[in-house]
Every structure is written in C-alpha cells, then in structure tokens.
Structure 1
C-alpha cells in the first residue's frame, strides 16, 4: 500500500500543469492554437516567435525568440517545456526550408530536451503525395520525429475550408464558387478553428494513450465534392452561387511551366492534381476517441458563415 506522502506526491504530479511550446504561434493557425490552449486549465503556454512577443491580445503570454533554422535557439526555447505543438510552415512564403530542415532541427532539439510529447500538424495521406513538395515535407518530418524516439501525435489535416485569404468567402461575396478541376471528386475539409482545438487537445491530453498516434481529422459525414459544398453553403446562407470551374487539364498543362517562376504555384498545382486522385480523404476513426464528436459539414459551414457575417 502506498504511503500518504507517495499518494500526495502522485496527486501533485497529476495536477501539475504541462508547459506547452507553440511553434508557429504568430501564424494564422498558430494564433488560433493559442486561443484554444487558453481554454485548458492543465497547461501553461509558451509561444515561440522569430521576432519576440507581439503587441496584441497574446502579449501577456510567455514568449521566447527562436528560429527553426537555428538549433541553439531551439535548445533555449525548449528549456522547461513538456509538450511541443508545431504548426510552422514555410511553403506559403515560397520556401520549404522550415518544412524540411527546420522540422528536423526542431525534432532533434525536442529529443535533446526529453520532451514528453511532440504534437505535429501533418497532412492527410501525405505519404502518398511525394509529388507535392509541402505534403512530402510532412511525411519526411514524421519520419524524423519517429527516428529521434520522442512520443508524438501526428494530427493529419485535410483541406482548409477557411484560410488567411479565404477564397471561398471572397467568391461568396461575388456570388460565385471557384471550383478546382471538377465538382464531383470528393475530398475532406476542416475549419481552422476546429483544427486548432484538436491540436490543443492533443497537447493537453492526460495519459499516454494518445502517444504515437496518427490521427486524421475531418467531418462526421465524410468527404464532400465541391458541388455538395456549394449546395450546403447555399442552404445555410439562402444565397445561390454560380460555379466557376478551372478544369483539370489546365493544371496538367501548366504544372511544369509554372515551376520556372513560382515554386509556390508549382506546389499548389501538384496539390490540386493529387486531389484529382480521390485520395485526399480523412479516416476519422480515431478522431472521436481523442478529440470528441466530429462535427457535421452543415454545422461547420454554419459557423463559417456566421464568422464571415454572411448570416446572423
């Protein structure tokens, strides 16, 4: 039988907060992760930025200045940290340095710091998409994280319904939906608010049952075609949209030439052509076990419409 002091020590350990370092904290998704983490009473937040603390709603958090391309700065940033969440990427800035070398540096620094859990934002079926540079970078990073031997959770996201520049919302304002390739091929979607919530839950999760899991996230009623998405948006908002479609042959014709002047354009075209295969579909069998019930597509689109003030 355990002594009173042993019981007390165990209770103290169970109530101790986890120090969670958010890498990519100043990004569009990173800021949402910070908000989600603030709802968890069992975590203390440490946010990482290359420029230091911002002067905004998050300025009262603990900030550390570090760069994924500078291993020494990562060692300093990881001092006292229990869990890492990484949503950082560089491909939108026409650079995959952070996606390849940066993630390798971060994983190796996390191993040196004996991190208890590495929560890594990955991509659905990235292991099948070697032709898409930033998808392939996620697979390479997953492999590195496994190789360094730290407990991990890979949260594998599908297509974002909303983004920093929300092309669906922008099209809606003009009464249009800009479709990619065709309107019948299905792929999975996620709202970034929900993705941030799942990443925070993975970090705050008590117990090691979640460790070393790869968890796809998506909607409970499955992948949607763009025609189905248009129909749902119209039902929710009461506004009929015209669909403007860029056919697949355009991407197939231009994917090589565009590489000559835009790595980001080439990456996006290869991504669209991967969508064409019908393999960008999330298997959410573990999502509810660890993160709670997956939402219905219509409920997500209703929240998206309200956030954009398309409905009251």
Structure 2
C-alpha cells in the first residue's frame, strides 16, 4: 500500500498506538478490512466474531473476541480497552434483520459505555431515502442511534458492490453473459470491496477531529454508471463480448409482495432493485477525496476486478 499522497507527503496517521475493534471480522468485507489494518504497524487489532477466531491461519496472530451483537453483555467485554470501532456487520444476508436493527443499537450503546474515541460505521448511500428497503432503512436507523449516543462517528456510505461473496457479474462473465437488472440505462454508483475496506481502515486510523461526525459517500471519480457502460468497459478491458440478459422492472414489481410471505431476504432484495430504478442510488463523493485521497476511475476499477478474477493478466 502506498502511504504517500500525490504531493509526496506522508499520509496522516496515528502517532500513538490504538486498539481497533473490527465487528463482522469473518465476513467477506470484514476479512478485507483486517488485511488493510494489518498494514498499519501503529495499531493493535481486535477482531470480533460470533464464533470466535476462524480456523485458517491468516489472522491467527490477531486478538480475537467472541461476541454477539444481540448479546449486550458480550459486547461490553468486546469493547474493553478499545479505542476505535469499525463495524461492517449485517444480518440481512442471513435471512434476519435483527442484527441490523437491535444489534446495531446494542453495538452503539456498548461503544458509548466504553467511551470509544471513534465509531466507524458502514452505511449505505441515500439510505435515508429508502425506507421501503429494510436493510437500507436499518442503516438510517443505526445512524440515528449512533448520533444520539454522542460518541464521535464516521459514516462511510457505500454504493452497490461491484464484487461480493457471490459475484453474479463474474459468474455471468464466465458464461459470456451480463445479467442486467431492470434496464441497461439507469445509472447507479458502484464500489470495489477492496477499496471500501481501505476507506473504512483509513477512517479508523485518520488523525484529526475533522473527520469526526462526518457522513462520507464513497465511489468512483467519474460518477455513477449504467449497466450498458459497465458492459462496454468489461468488454474493452477483457476483449470478450458479452450477451445481455435483462430481468425487466415489471418482474420485480410483480413479485415483490408475494415473495414477502416466504422470504425476508428476497423481499429486501427486490425492494432494493426497485429503489435503484429511481436513479437515486448515486454517491456524492465531494467528501471522499478530502479524507481518503483520489477516488478511482471506473475503468481502472474494472481492470483490477478482472485481474482479481483472472480474466486478464
């Protein structure tokens, strides 16, 4: 990792050793946050998981604590001697929003009792406009709870993940297809999870109170992209032409209410896609570069995504 900015000046970093608690440390994004934090020798890392330390050896040298966001007493133990909290935890992918609502409330209140110096919370772009999307709304509710506690916070508001645990874009690419949602013209913002992990880590180690109590949208320098633009860039980067398979908006509208009867996650996902349709899922990155350095341009991100998936060398 380059620890210099474009002017060759050393980035602002902590001068005193701090202990950072990572909540959701065994998740897809949480593990990436740990890797980013491990590049900062001036901090100690405490990793929190409901199941304790993972069985692999990658993070064996870290301090692990077993705690559950729905168990307030366990959170008090996890917060002991902690200076900074990063939370990327969520429950909606596990067919439950308990962690997203009550769990985040418990976590914020435990952080306040521990008098932490900063709470870095992964939120979602324009979640305050998406009450119909349960896990988006949960982020807005959590933000309000964190504010009420009075602890210094940084809300890092992320747009859509270009990559994820089940990378449907990469899976489609392997079959020569791009699975489009709704249409190929509506634009929304994206982010690569490696970059998001870096921004969350930077928010934790940043020295200076000017970052406290900030809500920071993150994204790409050249703005939101349509799926047609993504297809074009993927083709230019990889040299592989993709066929487009589109699920039209009316399908999401037709099934959103029936699916609620048997799948909370399915309902949440369909409501999210219908929110995308509004064209409001667009990051305002005016604060991004102030705190995290230059935002990447879309095509460079696509190149890194393609290389990570071994689509290019």
TM-score tier after normalising by the smaller chain length: over 0.9
Alignment partner of 1:250: what SS? Answer: helix
Q: In the alignment, what sits opposite 1:206?
A: 207
Q: In the alignment, what sits opposite 2:288?
A: 287
Q: CA deviation at 1:40?
A: 1.6
Q: CA deviation at 1:55?
A: 2.5
Alignment partner of 1:118: what SS? Answer: strand
Matches within 5 A, 1:31-180: 31-56=31-56, 57-180=58-181
Q: CA deviation at 1:237?
A: 0.2
Q: In the alignment, what sits opposite 2:226?
A: 225
Q: CA deviation at 1:73?
A: 0.5
* Total equivalences in the alignment: 299
1:101-160 CA-to-partner distances (Å, cap 9, x unmatched) read 000000000000001000000000000000000000000000000001000000000000
Q: In the alignment, what sits opposite 2:302?
A: 301
Q: In the alignment, what sits opposite 2:7?
A: none
Question: Could you tell which deviates more after superposition, 24-33 or 34-43?
Answer: 34-43
- Aligned: 1:277 with 2:281: no
Q: In the alignment, what sits opposite 1:25?
A: 25
Output the CA distance in 2 between the equivalents of 1:219 and 1:91. 26
Q: In the alignment, what sits opposite 2:5?
A: none
Q: CA deviation at 1:51?
A: 1.2
Tell me, yes or no, if the aligned pair for 1:49 and 1:65 is still in contact at 8 Å.
yes
Alignment partner of 2:196: what SS? Answer: helix
Alignment partner of 2:291: what SS? Answer: helix
Output the CA distance in 1 between the equivalents of 2:231 and 2:17. 44
1:36-79 CA-to-partner distances (Å, cap 9, x unmatched) read 01112321100001111112200110001111001111001000
Tell me, yes or no, if the aligned pair for 1:22 and 1:48 is still in contact at 8 Å.
yes
Output the CA distance in 2 between the equivalents of 1:47 and 1:75. 14
Alignment partner of 2:110: what SS? Answer: helix
Output the CA distance in 1 between the equivalents of 2:126 and 2:64. 33
Alignment partner of 1:215: what SS? Answer: strand
Output the CA distance in 2 between the equivalents of 1:100 and 1:59. 31
Q: In the alignment, what sits opposite 1:254?
A: 255
Alignment partner of 2:210: what SS? Answer: coil
1:2-48 CA-to-partner distances (Å, cap 9, x unmatched) read xxxxxxxxxxxx73211000000000000000000111232110000
Alignment partner of 1:209: what SS? Answer: helix
Question: Could you tell which deviates more after superposition, 37-46 or 27-36?
Answer: 37-46
Alignment partner of 1:200: what SS? Answer: helix
Output the CA distance in 2 between the equivalents of 1:53 and 1:247. 43
1:184-243 CA-to-partner distances (Å, cap 9, x unmatched) read 000000000000000000000011110000000000000000000000000000000011
TM-score (norm 2): 0.95
Q: In the alignment, what sits opposite 2:6?
A: none
Q: CA deviation at 1:247?
A: 0.4
Tell me, yes or no, if the aligned pair for 1:42 and 1:204 is still in contact at 8 Å.
no
Alpha-carbon RMSD:
0.7
TM-score (norm 1): 0.95
Unaligned runs of 5+ in 2: 1-13
Output the CA distance in 2 between the equivalents of 1:139 and 1:173. 36
Alignment partner of 2:209: what SS? Answer: coil
